[in-house]
Amino acid sequence: MLKVIMNTNYKIFNAAEYWQRETSLPSIPTFCQQVDKLLGSDGVQLGTITELLGLPGTGKTQMCLQLCASIQIPKALGGLEAEALYIDTNTNFRIHRYQEILKSCLLKCQKLLDTSEVIDEEEALKRLHYVGAFGVVEFGALMHMLPTYLRDRPKIRLVVIDSIAFPFKEGVSARERSGLLFRQMSELQRCAVERQIAVVLTNEMSTRLGLSGGSIVGSMGDAWSHRGTVRLLLSSTERGRAAVLVKSNVAGAGVASFQITKEGIRDVE
């Protein structure tokens, strides 16, 4: 006889309570007002999973580094004054580039605070936790212990995975990949909601062949495209760089321009 075990570890909200909870969640600014406005929540909101799509060189890693710096904005300026975890699966992370972006962020915060007290850059660097997970075995092991790691470090409010597709490129069938990824994503979503953590994933583009030719789409298929909360497509054109909001549950589709400077992600002047 099949026994059904009821899980009572949940709370039923009325619409007013749910609205209050959703609108009270803070966001991490991208330092580009146009992109923040496009996202509909003044940046990347906590409790969500945001996927950054794009071809190589369109700014996905740069956006991730900017968010890792922005998470440290002091509470006195409306920031989170928190920490970030950067999971590097493709050796994209460069500490010198992150230092450039972080230093610029700290100097801007110091100027806005109008204080002569210098924000310690070394202490700020300690607020970014980095791990390299190269290969599907290493990545799977890391994802297995991630909930415990986050539980023991409550100051971490941002998790970056750059990139989510790379560990599954070789030696894994499409069926195995789907099973592994969907189980891991379920755990990520639970962590994001329960611990109010923003999860940012970068993803690559692939060619989908059809009767009339090929088209460039996000890798890992249609089913994967529905797993995240927000999908942001980054592109580079002759006119500059653009962010296209492909999917969101808080904002309509739209486009925003941005630029990558020495200081990080900024508005187009």
Gap between the Cα atoms of 50 and 71, Å rounded: 15
The answer to whether the CB of 91 falls within 8 A of the CB of 241 is: no
How high is the pLDDT of residue 210?
Answer: 47
The first and second tokens of residue 242, run together, are: 């653009």
Q: What is the CATH number of the domain that holds 185?
A: 3.40.50.300
Q: Is 160 part of any domain?
A: yes
Asked if residue 224 has pLDDT above 50, the reply is yes
Q: Over the Cα atoms of the chain, what is R_g? A: 19
**In-domain check, residue 251:** no
Domain count, the chain: 1
**Has residue 15 been placed in a domain?**
no
User: Token pair for residue 160?
Assistant: 């970056």
Q: What is the pLDDT of residues 189-216, one digit of tens each?
A: 888 999 999 999 999 876 554 444 444 5
Beta strands in the chain (DSSP E): 27-28, 44-45, 49-53, 83-88, 128-132, 156-162, 198-203, 205-210, 213-218, 230-237, 240-247, 254-261, 264-266
Q: What range defines the domain where residue 158 resides? A: 43-205+215-233
Q: Does any domain span residue 70?
A: yes
In a domain, 4, yes or no: no
In a domain, 167, yes or no: yes
Contact between 89 and 142 (Cβ < 8 Å): no
How many other CB atoms are found less than 10 A from the CB of residue 126?
10
Dump pLDDT digits (tens) for 80-125. 999 999 999 999 999 999 999 999 999 999 888 877 666 788 999 9
Q: Is residue 77 part of a domain?
A: yes
The token pair at 164 is 């989510």
Length of the chain: 269
- The CA distance from 194 to 248, in Å, is 20
- The two tokens of residue 8 are 């009572």
Kindly tell me the number of DSSP H helices and DSSP E strands found in the chain.
Answer: 8, 13
Considering Cα of 146, then 148, then 154, then 155, what sign does the dihedral take?
negative
241 within some domain: no
Closest CA to 198 of 23, 48, 36, 81: 48
Q: What is the pLDDT of residues 27-63, one digit of tens each?
A: 999 999 999 999 998 999 999 999 999 999 999 999 9
